[in-house]
């Protein structure tokens, strides 16, 4: 299976994952009795989201490093990683059932959290297992199966939670059902890993503490770095939750959502390319690793920037369509976060992981967390929820991006001005911005306040123009993707 085919499968599954999350959020925004109830739901998930990178110990990302290098011992690799994840998750579960239930509601100033936090004892471990399962399936060269599994699970999850929320609006029951469905998916995922690694090299002991130790030595710096960076990127949500009312957090959390295609494309492309980059660095060929990474950046840029400007163009209508008129103020944070979009085309973490330079990730995360905490705190006090978004954007552009460029240039043995295809990124970004501006101007002639109609008109004009210009100015890239998709369709027949 070619890289573009693998990426297509994984991108599709990531889109479904994001859309399922949006469906659940959209339904709950409309059916729950108040913004405060919806804010409680989002605060409950925030507790897990804030700690998830630490609980995962970096092992999902480490699977792309260890599984390709241990083709005859994959079952031991996978199950020892799962054992480590489950052990740390059980500690998290106990804390949720005891101290968390008592103290987290006080910290957030929301007593309703006492009824929902205990469900994280199931939701947290199960979600972590699912994250590892989907990552390890890709590392096992089962990208299609990983995508299909994720799509089926996410559709069932969204359907079950949405239907339950419509019929029963009791929040703790909804979160409880959500947690139980995730647990069922995790158990099925473990079964898949067992079945797919049944032909691995036989070993005396499936559980190997030495193997766990080897994986953790690589993964923990990566996991700690991911945890601190995850905390840094989630500190805006935490500050809004701590300093403002649950109703304000409900509005902010909807606007702080990520554009569906961002995670879909970057994560999927990274999952496909990382094993090859690891092998290139393993051979001491930094140039080959850099070429692979730059190829990924170009492919991601080609799709992500035009798609991102489309979402920015219809953002006002999108918030109303998804969450109703009462959440229209969510558009402010959403548009601010979109300013980080050009930085997302370069998945710098791939080079850090591929070269085994996880300590650089840790250092970056520590500085990012400190800067974002200080800056965001004062901006939230001064500007409210929009200040939280501006703080994160400022830290990303003023520290994270320059740091990554300089470090990755050193890792790949090249100059910083040769690290990225800057001209290519700039060209597509400017083209997309100009087309979005022209589309907005033309849509102003539409005399209608209906959000769905306005969104359709804007997006239709934009898509027609951007596709025309992309075919004219970037014909080679368009034809490459078209031929790959045509080949894939032909092979499937």
DSSP character string of 39-75: HHHHHHHHHHHHHHHHHHTTHHHHHHHHHHH-TTSHH
State residue 491's pLDDT score: 55
Q: In sequence order, which residues have a C-beta less than 8 Å from that of residue 137 and are 6 or more positions away?
A: 143, 145, 146, 149, 192, 193, 196
The string of pLDDT tens digits covering residues 60-85 is 878 877 887 776 778 888 888 899 99
Inform me whether the pLDDT recorded for 1 exceeds 70.
no
Does residue 350 carry a pLDDT above 90?
no
Helix, strand, coil share of the chain (percent; to 5):
85, 0, 15
Residue 2 has pLDDT above 60, yes or no: no
Q: Are 466 and 432 in contact (CB under 8 A)?
A: yes
pLDDT at 397 > cutoff 90: yes
| DSSP three-state, residue 177 | helix
- Per-residue model confidence (pLDDT) at position 197: 79
Tell me the whole-structure pTM to 2 decimals: 0.78
Averaged pLDDT for residues 317-336: 90
Over residues 187-208, mean pLDDT: 75
Between residues 211 and 249, which one has the greater pLDDT?
249
Confidence at residue 218, expressed as pLDDT on a 0 to 100 scale: 80
Confidence bin at 396 (pLDDT 50/70/90): very high
The CA distances from residue 345 to 109, 222, 304, 371, in Å, are 38, 21, 7, 23
Q: Quick one: pLDDT at residue 439? A: 93
Calculate mean pLDDT across residues 216-237: 77
pLDDT at 280: 79
Estimate to the nearest angstrom the gap between the alpha carbon of 208 and the chain centroid: 31
pLDDT tens-digit profile of 476-489?
877 776 676 566 55
Confidence of residue 114 (pLDDT cuts 50, 70, 90): very high
Task: Assign 266 a pLDDT band (cuts: 50, 70, 90).
Answer: low
Instruction: Give per-residue pLDDT as tens, 415-458.
Output: 888 888 899 999 999 999 999 999 999 988 877 778 899 999 99
**Which carries the bigger pLDDT value, residue 372 or residue 75?**
372
pLDDT at position 487: 61
Q: Identify the burial level of 456 via C-beta atoms within 10 angstroms of its C-beta, where 0-12 means exposed, 13-18 middle and 19 or more buried.
A: middle
pLDDT at 271: 62
Q: Which of 135, 470, 421 is nearest to 293 (CA)?
A: 421
* pLDDT of amino acid 138: 83
Average predicted confidence (pLDDT) for the chain: 84
Amino acid 429: pLDDT: 93
Residues 179 and 340: their CA atoms lie apart, in Å, by 32
Q: What confidence category does residue 124 fall into, taking pLDDT thresholds of 50, 70 and 90?
A: very high
Which of 468, 475, 445 shows the shortest CA–CA distance to 458? 445
How far does the chain reach from its first CA to its final CA, in angstroms? Answer: 15
CA atoms of 11 and 191, how far apart (whole Å)? 24
* pLDDT at residue 270 in the model: 63
């Amino acid at each position: 299976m070619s890289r573009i085919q693998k990426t297509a499968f994984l991108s599709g599954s990531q889109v479904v994952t994001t859309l399922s999350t949006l469906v659940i959020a959209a339904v709950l925004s409309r059916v729950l009795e108040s913004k405060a109830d919806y804010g409680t739901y989002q605060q409950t998930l925030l507790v897990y989201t804030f700690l998830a990178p630490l609980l995962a110990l970096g092992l999902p990302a480490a699977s792309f490093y260890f599984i390709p290098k241990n083709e005859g011992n994959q079952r031991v690799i996978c199950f020892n990683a799962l054992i480590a994840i489950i052990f740390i998750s059980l500690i998290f579960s106990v804390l949720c059932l005891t101290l968390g239930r008592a103290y987290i509601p006080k910290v957030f100033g929301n007593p309703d959290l006492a009824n929902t936090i205990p469900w994280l004892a199931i939701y947290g471990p199960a979600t972590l297992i699912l994250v590892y399962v989907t990552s390890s399936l890709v590392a096992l060269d089962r990208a299609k199966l990983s995508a299909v599994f994720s799509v089926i699970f996410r559709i069932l999850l969204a359907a079950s939670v949405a239907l339950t929320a419509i019929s029963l609006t009791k929040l703790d029951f909804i979160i409880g059902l959500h947690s139980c469905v995730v647990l069922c998916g995790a158990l099925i995922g473990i079964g898949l890993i067992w079945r797919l690694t049944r032909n691995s090299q036989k070993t005396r002991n499936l559980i190997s503490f030495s193997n766990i130790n080897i994986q953790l030595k690589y993964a923990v710096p990566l996991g700690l770095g991911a945890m601190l960076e995850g905390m840094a990127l989630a500190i805006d949500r935490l500050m809004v939750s701590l300093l403002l009312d649950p109703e304000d957090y409900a509005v902010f959390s909807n606007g702080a959502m990520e554009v569906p295609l961002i995670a879909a494309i970057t994560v999927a492309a990274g999952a496909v390319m990382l094993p090859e980059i690891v092998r290139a660095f393993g051979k001491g060929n930094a140039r080959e690793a850099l070429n692979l990474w730059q190829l990924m950046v170009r492919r991601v840029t080609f799709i992500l920037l035009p798609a991102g400007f489309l979402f920015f163009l219809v953002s006002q209508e999108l918030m109303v369509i998804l969450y109703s008129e009462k959440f229209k103020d969510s558009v402010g944070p959403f548009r601010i976060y979109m300013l980080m979009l050009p930085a997302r085309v370069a998945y710098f973490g791939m080079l850090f992981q591929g070269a085994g330079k996880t300590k650089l990730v840790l250092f970056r995360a520590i500085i990012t967390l400190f800067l974002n905490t200080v800056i965001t705190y004062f901006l939230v006090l001064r500007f409210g929820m929009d200040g939280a978004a501006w703080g994160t954007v400022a830290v990303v552009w003023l520290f994270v991006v320059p740091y990554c460029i300089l470090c990755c240039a050193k890792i790949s043995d090249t100059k910083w001005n040769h690290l990225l295809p800057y001209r290519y990124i700039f060209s597509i970004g400017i083209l997309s911005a100009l087309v979005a501006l022209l589309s907005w101007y033309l849509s102003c002639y539409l005399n209608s306040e209906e959000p769905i109609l306005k969104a359709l008109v804007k997006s239709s004009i934009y898509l027609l123009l951007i596709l025309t210009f992309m075919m004219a100015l970037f014909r080679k890239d368009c034809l490459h993707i078209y031929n790959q998709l045509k080949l894939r369709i032909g092979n499937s027949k």
